[in-house]
Each structure stands twice: as C-alpha cells, then as structure tokens.
C-alpha cells in the first residue's frame, strides 16, 4: 500500500525517532509499504518519519542510482534501530534532495565514510562501513530519524534563497507526482 509522504513543516519530521522494540507483522507490513511508497516516488531512500511514524527505520536503494562504471556497488537495505558510530574521511559536497521537500535541491557537506550498526529486516544485527554515495544516502536518511532535514545543513546563503519556497511547501503549495500530506491538509 502506498502511503502519503509527509511534507516539510510536519512536526514528525523534527522529532528524534524511537527505537523499534520487536519484529512483528505490523513492522513487516510497514517495511513493505515503505518500499512501495519509496519506489512510487522514485526515491533512493525513505525514513519512517516521512510517512508520519517516529520510528528508527529507513530504507536505502542506491542500486539503480549508481551510474554505469561507478566503482561503488549500490545497496538495497532496510536499516532498523541504526546508530552511526563513526564518521570520518574527507568532507565533500553533494547536491541532495528529499521526497518531503519537492523541488528543492542543495549542496550538503558531509564526511565521506561511516560505520553503522543496525538491524536488517529480519532483525539480524550488522556492523558495517560505507562510503561514497551509499554513505551519503545513509547519512541523509539517518538524519531523518534524528529529526534533521538537509535544508538545515545547506550554506546560509542557499538557505536564505530557498526560505520562501520552504514556506510555500509548509502550506502545501507545491506539486509532486506522488501523494503528500502537509500540516493540516492532504494534496495530490
Ligand atoms: Ni529526505
């Protein structure tokens, strides 16, 4: 089932999300719905707060996004109760976007390498290292479960330039080719 994506301005996007306590049918259904919602919106990542649930769950699929000949291998994974335990390497800028903030993109500086501990969709524990685009998408989604949006990490000048657009999105004055839910109203 496709779920509406919560837009910029929704309070749930600003909360630090809670840990998932146990694997059950509801969580499995939620994961299935999140994958469907993400692909329907052509996203490479989706976090539970973006569908209105303050839970530490996010999905990443960089397989399609990886360009031919790219050294990195894409990943397709669910991250449950993730903790980034280390970020290192060089800081690099990459233009990010977000399904909750349609029509806005901006460069964000992040460190290139991360180590992350998480449970997969079967609730098996992993401790892994990522870099490149994989790390980038994970960092963006991880921010979502910490209640942080990429627009808070763009340079101050860029931030001033996009502020009016953000205010419009908050009011639901934006179009996306997937269903969204803004504070107080639903719009297609
Ligand atoms: Ni996002």
- Is 141 catalytic? The answer is yes
Token pair 């530490």 in the structure block, residue = 56
**Distance (Å) from CA 140 to ligand 1 centroid:** 6
Q: pLDDT, tens digit, for every residue of 62-91?
A: 998 877 666 678 999 999 999 999 999 999
Percent of the chain with pLDDT over 70: 95
**Mind listing the pLDDT tens digit for each residue in 20-60?**
999 999 999 999 999 999 999 999 999 999 999 999 999 99
If you measure from the C-alpha of residue 76 to the centroid of ligand 1, how many angstroms do you get, rounded to a whole number? Answer: 16
Q: Which of 21, 36, 68, 141 is catalytic?
A: 141
Mean pLDDT of 9-18: 98
Domains of the chain in start order, with CATH, are 5-187 (3.90.45.10)
Percent of the chain with pLDDT over 90: 91
Distance, CA 100 to ligand 1 centroid (Å)?
6
For 106-158, write each residue's pLDDT tens digit.
Answer: 999 999 999 999 999 999 999 999 999 999 999 999 999 999 999 999 999 99
Three-class secondary structure assignment of the chain: CCCCEECCCCHHHHCCCECCCCCCHHHHHHHHHHHHHHHHCCCCEEEHHHHCCCECEEEEECCCCCCCCCCCCCCEEEEEEEEEEEEEEEEEEEEECCCCCCCCCEEEEEEEEEEEEEECCCCCEEEEEEEHHHHHHHHHHHHHHCCCCHHHCCCHHHHHHHHHHHHHHHCCCCCCCCCEEECCEEEC
User: Using one digit for the tens of pLDDT, what is the confidence trace for 97-119?
Assistant: 999 999 999 999 999 999 999 99
Q: How many angstroms is it from 173 CA to the middle of ligand 1?
A: 18
């Amino acid at each position: 089932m496709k779920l509406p994506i919560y837009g910029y301005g929704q309070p749930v996007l600003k909360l630090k999300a809670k840990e998932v306590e146990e694997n059950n049918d509801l969580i499995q259904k939620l994961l299935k719905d999140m994958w469907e919602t993400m692909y329907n919106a052509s996203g490479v990542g989706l976090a539970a707060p973006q569908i209105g649930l303050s839970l530490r769950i996010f999905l990443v699929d960089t397989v399609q996004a990886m360009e031919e000949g790219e050294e990195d291998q894409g990943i397709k994974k669910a991250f449950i109760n993730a903790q980034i335990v280390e970020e290192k390497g060089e800081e690099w800028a990459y233009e990010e976007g977000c399904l909750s903030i349609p029509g806005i993109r901006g460069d964000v500086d992040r460190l290139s390498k991360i180590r992350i501990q998480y449970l997969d969709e079967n609730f098996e524990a992993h401790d892994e290292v990522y870099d490149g685009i994989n790390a980038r998408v994970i960092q963006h989604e991880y921010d979502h479960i910490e209640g942080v949006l990429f627009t808070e990490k763009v340079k101050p000048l860029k931030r001033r330039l996009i502020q009016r657009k953000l205010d419009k999105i908050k009011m639901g004055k934006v179009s996306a080719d997937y269903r969204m839910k803004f504070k107080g109203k639903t719009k297609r």
